[in-house]
Chains A and B, each alone.
Chain A
Amino acid sequence: MKFRGRAWVFGDDVNTDYIISAARKEAVRDPREAARHLMEDIRPGFAALVAPGDILVAGSNFGCGSSREAAPVVIQAAGIACVAARSFARIFYRNAVNVGLPLVEVDTRGLEDGEEVEVDVPRATLTRLRDGSVRRGLTLPPFMLAMLAEGGLVAYYRRHGRLPWEDADAADARGAARPAGGERLA
């Protein structure tokens, strides 16, 4: 899960209403159709600019607000390969992994619209291709990476017949508390 592409840079606190408004998600059931309205209230015309494989870059608290799973679904349907943000709101974070939208929590300050970046999801790195500088973020826990690798929770379950966190839970049940830092879960 390594993606190289053009960065679209957004600021802090991009909420799920901005990603896809309540009225649009209500009216439009086809995600590809809804994707035409991605970010329309804060960046009109944005959806038309996005090319498949582009990378969405944001500041802190990306995806705050409503629990709508349509938010990551519509980002994905627009052709965005992955999202890198300084931090994510917790429901969006779970939803993105559940629907198979790769994400990385990494320092995104100073990145510019249109620059080329490479995001390595398992290693949680973001590389600026203009100067080769590498930023390291917080790695996803193994069960979430496993979900992403299968394309989301439903795909994982259909393939394995097990819920992806059952193994992680088994590890914890043996008394191995996870470190509070280093990796992050919603």
Chain B
Amino acid sequence: MTRGRGAERPQTLAEKILSRRAGRPVYAGETVTAAVDLVIAHDGNRPQALDVFRELGAERVFDPGRVKFVIDHAPATHNRAAAEVHREMRAFAAAQGIELFEAGEGICHQVLPERGHVVPGDVVLGTDSHTTTHGAFQAFGTGVGTTDLAVAMMSGRTWFRVPETIRVELYGRLGPGAFAKDAALWLLGHLGANGATYRAIEFGGPGVAGLGVGERMTFANLAMEMGAKVALFPCDEVLRDWLRPRAGERGEALAPDPGAPYVAEVALDLGEIEPMLAAPHQPDNVHPVAAFAGAPIDEAIVGTCVNGRLEDLEVVARVLAGRRVAPGVRLIVTPASREVYLRAARAGILAALAEAGATVGIPGCTGCTGASGCGVPGDGERVVSAGNRNFRGRLGNPKAEIFLASPATVAASAVTGRITDPRAFLGRKEGVA
């Protein structure tokens, strides 16, 4: 527990983590500087953090062990611009002694936790907005731009305004055909794209225990689309079991104080959730899948940092079992990391996907943006994606439409060639493990 001098007020989880890294008790509304545990740069942004690092006149990163480079945004290195960025990242990483995860190793938010680099209580900064994903590990993960990242690479510190917190109380268990993605989309529709801006989201309640770590990552990932600065989960046995083979017992589990102040509270009964989708062109334009059922599709995508994990690939294979992708539809399924890729290969999932007519993508951000070098839709085409953004032009063509949904809904839609509620394709007993 962080105990400081003077009056002690009950703290939210976000306040507690920042207090430890600021070295004193801090509360919502204050501006603080905090030590950073992990600094992540990827290949997606211009200028690169290493360019700004040099402009600052910096020479060495504050701690090479706490800086990670990940080549994930253009994993196919499909053009010279990407190739140049990758080359520069490799050279800088080699010169500074920074660990670099090559193209094909996976998405930063997947591969770094898998390799044990993220533990509870960490402050994680990344040049990727979906750095909120690390909240599933009870890490204060948040996205920043290149300049903020370069300063953190140089100094090991950054500034924050300590956020107010929205508490989301989860109850119940997801029913058959409903997934964490559906529940997270419901929450996004409920709060709106601006609903958590500048704020932390703190998940809790009896429903958390029934969610696997991957499902929590899905929630924490989509919290970004609500505008959240961080999205924090409890550190429980489920998380500890996941972390143990990867990071041992490192990290410090924290819990919010009773009576901690919340600016809003939301109750979410997972048992009430039905398959949901986000219709064009806003992630918070959320409706039940039924509202658009039957609309023809051209392309179906499963993967990205929100839904590219083993359980996501598994459910796609389950929906496709004994079936084939509809004629005229492209289904692209991309594991979020090499680990996911290997496990899916060993389990026969990749073979089943290929047999059913799916294309397997290179682990990384494949199929998320038009700059990933994969899956750019044609004019007037409709895409159903398990990703997290459906902005006009997101996949590289402003004349296409993108719907966001769960991997099960995407797979069912790929089979029928139309937006399809997946429940008919999944046995009644098959909920989420």
- Residues of A bordering B, CB below 8 Å: 12-13, 15, 17-18, 21-23, 25-29, 40-42, 60-61, 64-70, 73, 87, 89-91, 94-95, 98-99, 141, 152-154, 157-158, 163, 165-166, 168-169, 172-173, 175, 177-180, 184-186
Determine whether the beta carbon of B151 is less than 8 Å from that of A141. Answer: no
Determine whether the beta carbon of A68 is less than 8 Å from that of B81. Answer: no
* Bound-complex Cα distance A136 to B404 (A): 38
Determine whether the beta carbon of A27 is less than 8 Å from that of B81. Answer: yes
Determine whether the beta carbon of B30 is less than 8 Å from that of A91. Answer: no
Q: Which B residues touch A90, using CB under 8 A?
A: 197-198, 227, 229
- Shortest distance between the CB of A137 and any CB in chain B (Å): 15
* Bound-complex Cα distance A21 to B56 (A): 27
Determine whether the beta carbon of B30 is less than 8 Å from that of A17. Answer: no
Q: Which B residues touch A91, using CB under 8 A?
A: 129, 143-145
* Bound-complex Cα distance A172 to B29 (A): 11
Selected from A26, A168, A173, A186, the residue in CB contact (under 8 A) with B371 is: A26
- Shortest distance between the CB of A100 and any CB in chain B (Å): 10
Determine whether the beta carbon of B57 is less than 8 Å from that of A69. Answer: no
- Shortest distance between the CB of A182 and any CB in chain B (Å): 10
Q: Which residue of B lies closest to A20 (CB)?
A: B46
- Shortest distance between the CB of B402 and any CB in chain A (Å): 11
Binds A, one of B165-173, B386-394, B418-426: B386-394
Q: Which residue of B lies closest to A70 (CB)?
A: B46
Determine whether the beta carbon of A26 is less than 8 Å from that of B146. Answer: no
Selected from B151, B155, B369, the residue in CB contact (under 8 A) with A23 is: B369
Q: Tell yes or no: B52 within 8 A of A by CB.
A: yes
Determine whether the beta carbon of A153 is less than 8 Å from that of B151. Answer: yes
Besides A98-B145, A154-B56, A169-B159, 18 other A-B contacts (C-beta < 8 A): A15-B389, A23-B370, A25-B371, A26-B44, A26-B81, A27-B79, A29-B81, A41-B398, A69-B47, A70-B47, A95-B146, A95-B148, A169-B31, A169-B33, A172-B32, A177-B27, A178-B31, A186-B161
Determine whether the beta carbon of B82 is less than 8 Å from that of A172. Answer: no
Q: Tell yes or no: B193 within 8 A of A by CB.
A: yes
Residue among A87, A94, A173, A178 facing the most chain B CB atoms (10 A cut-off): A94
Q: Tell yes or no: B360 within 8 A of A by CB.
A: no
What are 16 A-B contacts with C-beta separation under 8 Å? A13-B282, A21-B370, A22-B370, A22-B396, A26-B44, A26-B371, A29-B46, A69-B146, A70-B45, A91-B144, A95-B144, A154-B52, A158-B56, A158-B57, A169-B31, A173-B24
Q: Tell yes or no: B96 within 8 A of A by CB.
A: no
Q: Tell yes or no: B320 within 8 A of A by CB.
A: no
* Bound-complex Cα distance A61 to B194 (A): 6
Interface of B, helix, strand, loop or mixed by DSSP:
loop
Q: Tell yes or no: B379 within 8 A of A by CB.
A: no
Q: Which B residues touch A41, using CB under 8 A?
A: 392-393, 398
Determine whether the beta carbon of A165 is less than 8 Å from that of B30. Answer: no
Selected from B29, B57, B127, the residue in CB contact (under 8 A) with A67 is: B127
Contacts A61-B197, A163-B151, A169-B32 known; A69 to B45 CB distance under 8 Å?
yes
Residue among A21, A25, A179 facing the most chain B CB atoms (10 A cut-off): A21
Q: Tell yes or no: B128 within 8 A of A by CB.
A: yes
Determine whether the beta carbon of B164 is less than 8 Å from that of A64. Answer: no
Q: Which B residues touch A169, using CB under 8 A?
A: 31-33, 159
Residue among B144, B145, B155, B197 facing the most chain A CB atoms (10 A cut-off): B145
* Bound-complex Cα distance A177 to B4 (A): 14
Selected from B28, B29, B371, the residue in CB contact (under 8 A) with A22 is: B371
Q: Which A residues touch B81, using CB under 8 A?
A: 26-29
Q: Tell yes or no: B416 within 8 A of A by CB.
A: no
Determine whether the beta carbon of B56 is less than 8 Å from that of A23. Answer: no
Give a binary string over B149-177; 1 marks a CB under 8 Å from any A CB, 0 the rest.
Answer: 00100010001010010000000000000
Q: Which B residues touch A65, using CB under 8 A?
A: 129, 389, 391
* Bound-complex Cα distance A181 to B274 (A): 38
Selected from A12, A68, A157, the residue in CB contact (under 8 A) with B44 is: A68
Residue among B282, B370, B393 facing the most chain A CB atoms (10 A cut-off): B393
Determine whether the beta carbon of B198 is less than 8 Å from that of A17. Answer: no
Within 8 A of A (CB), among B26-53: 27-33, 44-47, 52
Q: Which residue of B lies closest to A64 (CB)?
A: B193
* Bound-complex Cα distance A87 to B6 (A): 35
Determine whether the beta carbon of A89 is less than 8 Å from that of B197. Answer: yes
* Bound-complex Cα distance A97 to B282 (A): 26
* Bound-complex Cα distance A22 to B368 (A): 10
Q: Tell yes or no: B147 within 8 A of A by CB.
A: yes
Q: Tell yes or no: B384 within 8 A of A by CB.
A: no
- Shortest distance between the CB of B187 and any CB in chain A (Å): 16
**7 smallest A-B Cβ distances: which pairs?**
A185-B161, A180-B29, A69-B145, A95-B145, A22-B369, A41-B393, A22-B371
Determine whether the beta carbon of B391 is less than 8 Å from that of A165. Answer: no
- Shortest distance between the CB of B126 and any CB in chain A (Å): 8
- Shortest distance between the CB of A77 and any CB in chain B (Å): 12
Determine whether the beta carbon of B193 is less than 8 Å from that of A13. Answer: yes
Q: Which A residues touch B222, using CB under 8 A?
A: none
Determine whether the beta carbon of A180 is less than 8 Å from that of B370. Answer: no
* Bound-complex Cα distance A166 to B28 (A): 19
* Bound-complex Cα distance A40 to B143 (A): 25
Q: Which residue of B lies closest to A13 (CB)?
A: B193
Determine whether the beta carbon of A154 is less than 8 Å from that of B391. Answer: no
* Bound-complex Cα distance A175 to B4 (A): 11
Selected from A141, A157, A168, the residue in CB contact (under 8 A) with B56 is: A157
